[in-house]
Amino acid sequence: MPKFNIHLAVKLLDEAIREMKIPYLSKPHVKCDPFRTLIACILSLRTKDKTTYAASERLFAHADTPLLMLKLGEKKIAKLIYPVGFYNQKSKQIINICKTLLEKYDGKVPNKIDELLKFNGVGRKTANLVVTEAFNKPGICVDTHVHRISNRWGYIKTKTPDETELILRKKLPEKYWINFNRLLVTYGQNLCLPLSPKCSQCKISSMCKKIGVKKK
């Protein structure tokens, strides 16, 4: 098996996903608005992309600013975002985030990871995603796809998403940071599936160690 070449892998993945459906959070009309990116990312946690798409569009059709979101109220937001996972809890988080934005940030989403982590319900995945997608600043957003595929390749060996982010920050060339999540999430949703990945269709299969793959 040839040694894993991250430069070649990124190049081939970038070519491959051009024919695939990109995640909702990477769509132009979402990533151009930091507030929309932040709220949509909250909705996406433990929720399938298709459900996130529908719920986000319903919500933003009624309110697309922190002030308008507060006017909707917790119950209305919960109704609009159902059936995303933990919709009642997320409704409360959205209200708290909007209050903080208006009280401390003049209604504008901050563009620094450390500031975003101060918000209720915002973890490293969400903070990194907002920074990379909405502000085009260096960051590594590690979700289940990034964690799983990076380890499946044998490129890294980690046990948790937080550990994966730490190691990738040391090992992954910075020029790939911003797009790494988009590449692996798209690839993970369409071809490098959690169970029974489509290895026969994968252009980097020959250098992938397929760690943890039992059926393909």
pLDDT at 97 over 90: yes
Can you tell me the distance from the alpha carbon of 194 to that of 140, in angstroms, rounded to the nearest whole number?
Answer: 21
- State the pLDDT at residue 109: 98
Q: Give me the pLDDT at residue 216, please.
A: 85
Q: Using 50, 70 and 90 to split pLDDT, how confident is the model at 31?
A: confident
Q: What is the mean pLDDT of residues 194-203?
A: 95
What pLDDT shows up at residue 89?
Answer: 97
Q: Please pick, among 48, 49, 90, 143, the residue that the annotation labels catalytic.
A: 143
- Cβ-Cβ contacts under 8 Å for 34 (sequence gap 6 or more): 108, 109, 111, 130, 134, 135
- Is-contact 183 17, C-beta < 8 A? yes
State the catalytic residue, choosing from 125, 170, 203, 210.
125
| 143 counts as catalytic | yes
Tokens, residue 52 = 């996130």
> Residue 215's pLDDT is what?
87
What pLDDT sits at residue 1? 80
114 among known catalytic residues: no
2 has a pLDDT exceeding 90:
no
pLDDT, tens digit (0-9, with 9 covering 90-100), for 145-190? 999 999 999 999 999 999 999 999 999 999 999 999 999 999 999 9
Fold matches, 6-20+140-207 and 24-135:
no
Tens-place pLDDT, residues 103-138:
999 999 999 999 999 998 899 999 999 999 999 999
What is the pLDDT at residue 137? 96
Domain positions in the chain: 6-20+140-207, 24-135
Tell which residue, 212, 155, 185, has the closest CA to residue 8: 155
Tokens (6 digits) for 130: 């907002």
CATH topology of domain 6-20+140-207: Endonuclease Iii, domain 2 (1.10.1670)
% of the chain exceeding 90 in pLDDT: 93
- Please state which CATH number belongs to domain 24-135: 1.10.340.30
Q: Burial level of 51, CB count in 10 A (0-12/13-18/19+)?
A: middle
Q: Cα–Cα distance between 140 and 190 in angstroms, integer?
A: 21
Tokens of 153: 């390749």
